[in-house]
């Protein structure tokens, strides 16, 4: 007989969870994933799957409790989570899109279903305090797995993942320890250079005035168009992300009135799971960091798109080969790790 695993009432906030509170000063810390299906979904079964996901990955069923010394996650009381909803109208579905999540009350994700006569749309909204973009896909995978299991066995209950790590140490243990100091020094050099270069960086001008209410713009790309982009990338040994960065820089230059002297740089993110042999975390987590001022083209955009792409692809390859992102992680670990929570906000 399988022993029931008891979910702990509390679990510590991880280092990269705390970093998200810096980001909250810049915008809404929510990551959303919208999915489209060719058939209707069973609302009742999906609602049950979503509720069970709160136990399958216990962090999802928690509220954040700030503490001056060491903040933590606390499990919510059973029932009344309101994590699932079904939109009966398009307006209700769109309203859900712009709704916020309260990290202090929980839960840390919500789901909205919109069924149509010939299909369905499902919107998953996850707090960035517990998961990055890859973590959001993990949440979607968990819900999908439970939904499928319930179709086969209505009494199915997932085993809580209480031993899975959310810590960044699951990445660092695969990085040679003798390189830790070098990564930290690289972070210090990069941070110093960025601070000095901010005034020389080309930025996109925004008009002054009253901010409008939040809304989302959607663009659907046909399959053949995406296939063409992927094939173009393969010919140039470039990823889709490389292509997007090249397009971004060239769009920025044409829009912002570049004088040829301002420097071209952007802050990107990198998923540190790439350094785990399985490329997977053992729990839903934040395991991505920012790459400040990278890639940096300086003032050399390149004559055309392919030359811009070539520069970015080369930079990307070198960055990955040199454990890109570990420098930022070491900087956060040394600078923020030992400090009390209220020093980091």
Q: How does pLDDT run across 60-75, given as a tens digit for each residue? A: 999 999 877 788 999 9
Q: Is residue 163 part of a domain?
A: no
Q: How far apart are CA 130 and CA 144, in angstroms?
A: 19
Residue 324 has pLDDT above 80, yes or no: yes
Q: What's residue 79's pLDDT?
A: 61
Cis preceding linkage at 107, omega within 30: yes
The verdict on 103 and 222 lying in the same domain is no
Q: What's residue 80's pLDDT?
A: 57
Q: Is residue 164 part of a domain?
A: no
In this prediction, residue 128 has a pLDDT band, given cuts at 50, 70 and 90, of very high
In eight-state DSSP terms, residue 201 is B
207 vs 65: which has the higher pLDDT = 65
Domain containing 181 equals 169-343
Residue 344 has pLDDT above 60, yes or no: no
192 vs 187: which has the higher pLDDT = 187
Domain total of the chain: 2
Q: Which of 138, 130, 112, 134 is nearest to 63 (CA)?
A: 130
In eight-state DSSP terms, residue 13 is P
Do the beta carbons of residue 283 and residue 7 sit within 8 Å?
Answer: no
Of 120, 152, 184, which closes a domain?
152
The verdict on 44 and 193 lying in the same domain is no
Q: How far apart are CA 13 and CA 168, in angstroms?
A: 12
Residue 144 has pLDDT above 90, yes or no: yes
Q: What's residue 218's pLDDT?
A: 84
Residue 341 has pLDDT above 90, yes or no: no
Q: What's residue 1's pLDDT?
A: 34
Residue 270 Cα to chain centre, angstroms? 10
The verdict on 173 and 143 lying in the same domain is no
Tokens, residue 210 = 């009253």
Query: Which residues fall within 8 angstroms of residue 188, CB to CB, at 6 or more apart?
Result: 331
Q: For 47-61, 71-85, 158-172, 312-326, which range has the lowest pLDDT when averaged over its residues?
A: 71-85
Q: How far apart are CA 288 and CA 319, in angstroms?
A: 15
Mind listing the pLDDT tens digit for each residue in 129-139? 999 999 999 99
Q: DSSP characters for 281-328? A: -SSS---EEEETT-SEEET---SSHHHHHHHHHHHHHHHHHTTTTHHH
Mean pLDDT of the chain: 89
């Amino acid at each position: 007989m399988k022993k029931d695993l008891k979910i702990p009432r509390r679990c510590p906030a991880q280092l990269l969870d705390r970093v998200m509170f810096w980001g909250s000063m810049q915008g809404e810390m929510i990551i959303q994933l919208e999915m489209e299906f060719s058939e209707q979904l069973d609302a009742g079964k999906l609602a049950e799957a979503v509720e069970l996901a709160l136990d399958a990955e216990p962090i999802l069923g928690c509220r954040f409790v700030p503490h001056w010394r060491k903040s933590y996650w606390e499990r919510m009381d059973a029932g009344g989570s309101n994590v699932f909803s079904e939109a009966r109208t398009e307006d209700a579905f769109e309203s859900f899109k712009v709704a916020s999540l309260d990290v202090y009350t929980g839960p840390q994700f919500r789901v909205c279903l919109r069924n149509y006569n010939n299909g369905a749309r499902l919107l998953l909204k996850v707090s960035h305090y517990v998961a990055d973009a890859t973590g959001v896909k993990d949440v979607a995978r968990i819900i999908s797995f439970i939904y499928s299991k319930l179709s086969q066995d209505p009494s199915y209950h997932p085993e809580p993942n209480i031993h899975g790590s959310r810590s960044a140490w699951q990445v660092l243990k695969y990085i040679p320890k003798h390189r830790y100091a070098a990564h930290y020094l690289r972070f210090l050099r990069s941070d110093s250079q960025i601070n000095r270069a901010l005034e020389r960086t080309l930025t996109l001008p925004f008009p002054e005035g009253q901010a409008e209410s939040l809304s989302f713009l959607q663009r659907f790309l046909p399959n053949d168009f995406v296939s063409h982009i992927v094939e173009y990338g393969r010919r140039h040994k470039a990823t889709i992300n490389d292509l997007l960065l090249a397009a971004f820089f060239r769009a920025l230059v044409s829009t912002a009135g570049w004088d040829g002297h301002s420097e071209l740089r952007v802050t990107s993110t990198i998923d540190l799971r790439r350094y785990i042999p399985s490329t997977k975390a053992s729990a839903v987590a934040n395991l991505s960091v920012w790459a400040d001022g990278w890639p940096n083209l300086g003032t050399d955009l390149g004559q055309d798109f392919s030359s811009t792409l070539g520069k970015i692809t080369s930079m990307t390859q070198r960055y990955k080969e040199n454990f890109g992102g570990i420098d930022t992680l070491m900087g956060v670990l040394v600078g923020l790790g030992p400090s009390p929570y209220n020093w980091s906000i």
